[in-house]
C-alpha cells in the first residue's frame, strides 16, 4: 500500500521539488548536482529478515515522472561484494549520504548506506552508482588497494559488517575529501565471525584518485586542519591490548545513521 501511494504522489507534475519531509521512516537523499534523488526504506519481516525498498527519481525538464524502482536482491546474491547490477538487482541499503565525483567526463555517485542485515550483525556499505545510456548501474571496479603494503583484491562495493550493538563510523569527511572508515577488531579474537567485530577508534579511508576510491591504510597520519588526528578514543592501549572499559563504551556510543522506526510494505 505505501509503495503504491508514494508512486501515485510522485506522478504529480514537478513532484521532484516536493520534499516529502513528513515521511519519517523514509530516507530521501539528493545527488549534489540535483540530477536525481533516492528514496530508501526498510521492511522488517522478522528479527532475522530485513529487506530494503527504494526508488530513484530522476529530475526531468518537463516535470514528468521518471522513476527506477530498486529491487533488493541481497538474499539471493551469492557474493554481494562483487556483483554489478541494475535497479532490478540492487544490494539493499538505507542511504544516508551521496558523494559526486567526476572522471573521464562522467559523474560517479558514491552512496553511503546502512543495512540492519540480521539478528547478529549490521552492515554499512559504500556503493558507486553511475548511469549508462540513462540507466542506473550499481557497483564496479571503483575500489583499489594499490597503495597498501599487503595485497588485497579489488571488489565492486565496500561492505563493513559488524556486531549488532556496535556503531563503527563510516562517513565522508569534506575537509579531508575522504571517506573515513573506522577499523574493526574482533572482541573475541575471531575476525572471521563478523558479528564479533567492533570499531577500535583507529581509522582507515578511501581517497578518490583517477576514477577510483584508493584505500588509505592509516588516516590518522593525515592531520586535520585543527591539528588533531581523527582518532578520538582508541580502544587499544599503547601495547596493543584491548581496554575493556573503552570496549564496552564503543558498543554503546554510536548508533546507526539512519534507522527507520516503522515497517513498510512492498
Residue 262 lies in a domain: no
Residue 264 lies in a domain: no
Residue 23 lies in a domain: yes
Residue 206 lies in a domain: yes
138 pLDDT band (50/70/90 cuts)? very high
Residue 104 lies in a domain: yes
How far apart (Å, rounded) are the C-alpha atoms in residues 29 and 108?
A: 15
Residue 263 lies in a domain: no
pLDDT of 187-227, one tens digit each? 999 999 999 999 999 999 999 999 999 999 999 764 444 54
pLDDT of 48-84, one tens digit each? 888 999 999 999 999 999 999 999 999 889 899 999 9
Domain that residue 124 falls in: 2-253
Instruction: State the total domains in the chain.
Output: 1
Amino acid at each position: 500500500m505505501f509503495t503504491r501511494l508514494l508512486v501515485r504522489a510522485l506522478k504529480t507534475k514537478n513532484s521532484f521539488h516536493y520534499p516529502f519531509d513528513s515521511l519519517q521512516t523514509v530516507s530521501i537523499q539528493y545527488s549534489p548536482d540535483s540530477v536525481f534523488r533516492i528514496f530508501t526504506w526498510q521492511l522488517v519481516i522478522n528479527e532475522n529478515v530485513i529487506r530494503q525498498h527504494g526508488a530513484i527519481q530522476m529530475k526531468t525538464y518537463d516535470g514528468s515522472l521518471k522513476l527506477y524502482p530498486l529491487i533488493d536482491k541481497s538474499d539471493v546474491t551469492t557474493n554481494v561484494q562483487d556483483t554489478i547490477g541494475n535497479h532490478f538487482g540492487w544490494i539493499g541499503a538505507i542511504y544516508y549520504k551521496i558523494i559526486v565525483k567526476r572522471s573521464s567526463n562522467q559523474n560517479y555517485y558514491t552512496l553511503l548506506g546502512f543495512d540492519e542485515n540480521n539478528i547478529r550483525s549490521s552492515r554499512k556499505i559504500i556503493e558507486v552508482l553511475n548511469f549508462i545510456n540513462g540507466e542506473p548501474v550499481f557497483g564496479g571496479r571503483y575500489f583499489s588497494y594499490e597503495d597498501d603494503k599487503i595485497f588485497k583484491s579489488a571488489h565492486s562495493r565496500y561492505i563493513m559488517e559488524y556486531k549488532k550493538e556496535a556503531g563503527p563510523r563510516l562517513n565522508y569527511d569534506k575537509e579531508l575529501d575522504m571517506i573515513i572508515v573506522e577499523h574493526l577488531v574482533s572482541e573475541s579474537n575471531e575476525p572471521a565471525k563478523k558479528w564479533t567485530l567492533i570499531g577500535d577508534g583507529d581509522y582507515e579511508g578511501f581517497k578518490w584518485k583517477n576514477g577510483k576510491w584508493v584505500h588509505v591504510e592509516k588516516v590518522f597520519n593525515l592531520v586535520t586542519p585543527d591539528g588533531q588526528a581523527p582518532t578520538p578514543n582508541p580502544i587499544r592501549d599503547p601495547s596493543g591490548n584491548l581496554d575493556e572499559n573503552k570496549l564496552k563504551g564503543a558498543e554503546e556510543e554510536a548508533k546507526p545513521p539512519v534507522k527507520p522506526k516503522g515497517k513498510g510494505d512492498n
